[in-house]
Each structure stands twice: as structure tokens, then as C-alpha cells.
A and B are shown apart, each in its own frame.
Chain A
Amino acid sequence: MAGLEAEIARWRSRVGEVPAMNGRDLDELEGHLRDQIADLVELGLDEEEAFLVAVRRIGKVDDLSREYAQEHSDRLWHQLMGSEGSEANADRSGWLDAVLFGVGAAIAVQIARLAAGFPGEQPAWLGRNLSFLVLPFLAGFFLRRRRAPIAAWLTMTAIFGVSALLVNLYPYVANADTDMLVALHLPVAMWFVIAYPYTGGEIGSHRRRMDFARFTGEWIVYYALIALGGGVLIGLTTLLLDPAGVDPELIAEWVVPTGAAGAVVVAAWLVEHKQRVVENMAPVLTMVFTPLFALLIAVAIAVYLASFGVVFERELIGVFDALLVVVFGLVLYGVSARDPEAPPALTDRLQLATVVAALALDLVILAVMAARIGELGFTPNRTAAIGLNVVLLVGLAGAAWHLARFVVGRDEFHRLERWQTGYLPVFAIWAALVVVALPPIFGYA
């Protein structure tokens, strides 16, 4: 008997190495194995034979690994997202692609900088076109990694090309607000365009969208880390070379834009291939920051309700919008990092509290803005701000509804996931609308 238990334990630890399988799955499979062994022993086999037959029937570890990976891609999305699977990635880790496309982005940015005479001159077209200098290289990186067909390359080229034409052919007046708004919203719209090559064309799939949301979160973490390291490096270089008579301006002009552009692609590559490093950090980060943001929002509501309408300057509304976007992102990221099978826990309640607080804040901002628009009419900035607020309001309300139903046990967690991923295109469409429709509506002012 002890022999059988030892055999089962050994089998369990071997199957347990399958990355897409968790403890509950193992329990389930082990239960199956034990049922099978019991039946076979009843038929007259001895325990050892029964064990061997039962193990054979359950299947090879490799096959199990593949099947579980397909169903539970969220548990190892970083391995799967190469979509050609781990075996293809072994011989081609992609660092060369990352370097090539990263260097491409850096060169594009530097050429544009020289053409614009930045930082001496700061023409509006530079800020407006920043997305087109960098993001096509990121798209190219993913198209290459996913071994996309020619049609996909052409589609992406067409999307970037048409957007670039549109944005640059608009006859903005000097220092136009709409120009600023385009510069702000275009990167968002174009980032969603990246979802197409990232998901290998499967943008309709909720799971792939969730992968993309996860990717975006990880990418931000990596980019921030690289920026931090880069900042230290540049600071030290400046300190070292300044006494030797090297102009620190030179470093700022050449190294910073190059690094910032290249890091966009390099961070994406890191997310894909060194994902495990932050994999355990990401949920922790969201867990730490979710309650803190809830607190921040609650304080903000209290402070600004006390002084209603007086101090709501335009910049402040922008700050609040940014805060709400961060909250939506935190919740989305938290959702994407969570095990959907797990029952409701304290973190879910905290998240619900944060979302409800954000909703309340959003309503306050909307009330203030509605009053302001009623008084002073629509301007490009107010339109963009109120639109974003409405988009956020609906998104957060849906998230709160599904989260609340999940917390009280009335709904599956997947509903919340589906709501979140289903809502993502609304953000993309809104950003695209601001870029495309707002300038002509307001006379390019």
C-alpha cells in the first residue's frame, strides 16, 4: 500500500510541473487516478499494474500540458503568447528583433528631433506625430514575432498611414487646443491598434483582449523600471562628464529620446520573455495600490465637496480624469491577474470599494463640468473631458455592478472579465473620435 502511495505522490509531483495546472486541477486528476486504480483492482489487477494502466489512460504529461495550456492560457500567457509555442521560442528568443525595432524607433525619433530643431524649437507637429515615430516599430516587432501574413503587415501600414495623413493634413490654427488634444489622444488610439498584431489578429477574442490588458500593465511596469534605471545612468554620466567639459545638454538631447523610444520595444520584449520576474509582483502591486487609491479618491471627494465648484480649474479636471483612468486600469489589471476560479476574497471587496469611490468622484466631476458647460458652452477641452468622463462612468458602473454581484455570490467572475474586455474598444473608439472628429467640429481651433 505504501508503495502505491509513493507512486501516486511521484506521479503527482511530475504532473505538477505542468505550468498551466494548479493545485485544484491536480487534486481533480489525482482523484480520477485513484478512482481508476480502485476499479482496476476490483477487476483483479494488482496495485502496481492498476497504477500503470491508470497513468497511461490519463495521458502523457506533454499532452496534458498542451491541453491545459490551451484552456488556461491565462496561467501561462507569457509562454503561449508567442503563439508558435515554447519550442519555437527556444531557438529564437527575439532579442535581436527587439534590438532592431528598438533601434529603428530611436533613429526615427532622432531624425524627427533634428528636423524639428528640438529642443530649441518646439513645433506642434513633433508632439502630434510622436506615436507615429515609435508605435509602428512596436507593431512591426509583434508582426514579426507572430509571423504575421503579408495582409496583416499591409493592414497595419494602412492604419498608420491613413491616421498619419489625417492628423497632419488638418489645418490647425496656431496653438490650437484641438492640436493638443490630438497629441494626447492619438497615442491611446494607436496603442489599441497594437492590440491587432499583439493578439495575432484575434482582437475579437475576450481572452486575447485580456492578455493585451495584462501586457499593457506589465509593459508599464517594465517601462517605469527601465526609465528609473536610465535616469540613474544619465544622472551619473552627467556628473562624470560635466567636469570634463562635455555639455550635459548633449546627453539630454541624444541619449534621452533614443533611450525612451528604444525602451518602448525593449519593454515589450521583456514582458514577453522575462514575464515571470514580475509575474508575482504585479498582483501585489495592484493589491497595495487599490486600497490606497480608494483612500485618495475618498479624500479628494471630501475635500472638493466642501469647496464645491470653486477650485475646479481645467487642469484639475484633467488630473481627476487621469486618476479615474488609473483606477480603471488598476481594476482591469487586478482582474487580469486574478485566478478566475477563486471565490470572492477581501481583495475583491477592496476593489469594489475603490470602484464605487471612483464612481462617486466621477459623478462629482460630471456635475461640475455640466454646470460649467451650461454656463460657458462647449469648447474642445471641455468636450474631450466630459466625453472621457462619460466613457469612464459607464465603464466603472458596469465594473461595480459585476463586481458587486460576484462579491455577494450572485455571478461568476468571468462576467466581470467579459465586461472589462468588452468595454475596452469603447476607450479606443473615444480616443479615435477625439483625434478624427473634434478638430473639424471646432474649426481646428
Chain B
Amino acid sequence: MALLECRGVNVAYEPARGQRIWAVRDVDLALEQGEFVGLVGESGSGKTTLGHALTRMLRPPARLESGVIAFDGVDIASLHGEQLRRRRRNGFALVLQSGMNALNPVRTIGHQFGDVLKAHAWRGEDVGAHAIRLRAAGLLAAVRLEPDVLGRYPHELSGGMRQRVSIALALALEPRMIVFDEPTTALDVIVQQAVIQTIKDLQRDRGFTAVLISHDLGVVLEATDRVMVMYAGRIVEDQPASALVRGLHHPYTEALLDCYADPRADVVELGGIPGYPPDLSLPQAGCSFAPRCPLAEDICRAQDPPLSPLGRGRAACHVRARAATIGEEVGSAR
């Protein structure tokens, strides 16, 4: 059984005044224990919303309108209050974008570890000051931080250090799944590298399922085993990471890959995607990408393509699906 299974997840934003916006539409996915998955998309694609939905952290005005989110067989979408809170131990965790503000400014790091450990202590588990200090130091060591960080306040640490502390706090829950929401976006490139490496090592050593959300396809390709691409609230492609660098894919994915180039080359061609993302407060007829897609055909505008097999994974594209079944070679529209 998969660790996490989603069926028909729909999330909408309902502001008091204004239109309802469908941020996540009809998402089905399954994650196995130990997978390292990347979730990629542009701003507004729904990736952060999906990440929050998977960890039951949606806040008003966002609402899970329908769908099942089964973690270890239990539909966590139906859990609330204390029941939900308890599930977070040895369950699912969320690490936020930029550890900048993710830590309580008026409590020392050590106290914050204490808060987490005590909140989930089982009966008989030692949560005395000494035990907490030991465990916290161990967690800090796992993210390559010294134990003296425990006595410091968040403002005394650098951005990269704070991000690592956030990861260590999430690890304190001994989770089987961690969703990292844009963990490196606010960091500079060199620190980014270090943090991603830390996440990779942790994932390999501890075996939790990791979901890395990012708008940076490069980071995701480098770190993850499997990549899911989101557009306009839907998953449009789902492939092993190694399969993405060549072959045919969803036109959006291809366009994203086009946006990257070798900075050391003599001549650099920059691609781009013309047009704008769709207005998600309107019902989407057909494929959401059709208005911007170089391969769009009439069927694309009429019918929303389902995720169908493509290569070693799946993609939601009528044209590619047809090519895959017929076996024709369709040149990509570059």
C-alpha cells in the first residue's frame, strides 16, 4: 500500500468578497515510502496549496472542497483537533519556505525543540530537560549544526542555519513524510546547494518520503527521483527525474526545460512561454495549457486530457498520448 494516496483532491480559495478560485483541481497521486518526489510549477500553479493540503495545513480562505487524502490507509482529510494533532508524530511534516520567520523570535532554539518533543511525548517517554537537550543536539547534528545553537535565539542565526533548524524540528516528529515548501528560495545559491545536499542525505539515511516543492526545475531535477509538474492546479506530468532530460514530454514541461541554458556557453538561447496563466476563478474548458501550447488542436480545447502513460511515467496531453500509442514521431515545436 502506498504511504500517501490522493484521490480527487480539490482545493478552493473562497475570499469573503470575490470569486472562488480553484487552486488544486482533481489531483490523484500515490507516494511510496522512501520516495523523493519533486513538485514543480510556476507561481499560482497550486504546488504550495497541494503541499499544504497533503499535510493538513490549509487555512481559511483555502478549503479542501472534496477528495480523499489517505495517509497510511487513514483518510486524514476527515481528522480534526486532537486526533489530527497526534497523527503528526511519526506521520507527516511540513517545512516552510524560508526558515526566516518560521521560528519563534522570543524563544531559544532549545526551548522550541522542547515544545515539539513535549507536545508529542508518549506516556513514560522521558522529556526532562536533559533528555530533550540530548535529543535536540542529535537532531541538530543530523543537519550539521553545533549543539550550542540550542542556547541561541533565531535572530542570532543566519538564514541557512535557520532553515536547517526548521528541518531538524520537523525531524523531531520522526515523520514518515516531509513536505519541503520552497526550502531554498530565500537563500543564495551556495547555501542552497548545502541545504539541498543536507535534505538528500537525510532522506537517504532516514528513509522518509520527501516532497520537494519548488519553481526551480534545476534544483528538483538534481535532487529528486521523481518529478511531478503542476500547471493551473493540475498535475500535467509525472516522470522519473532521469527521464525528463530527454524525450518527449508535456509541452509545458518541454517549455520549462527550454528556459534553462548553460551559463558558460558562448551563445545562449533563452526560451519563454508566451501568454499568461489562466484565470482560475473561471471554469476551465479543455486543457488549461491549450491557449499557450504550440501543439494545441481542437480536441485540446474541447476536452481536458487525463494523465495517460508516456515514456516511463505519465502526462496529461492528448497529442503526446496519441503519439505514444500510435508510435509516431512528432517533432517538438521548437
User: Bound pair: A and B?
Assistant: no
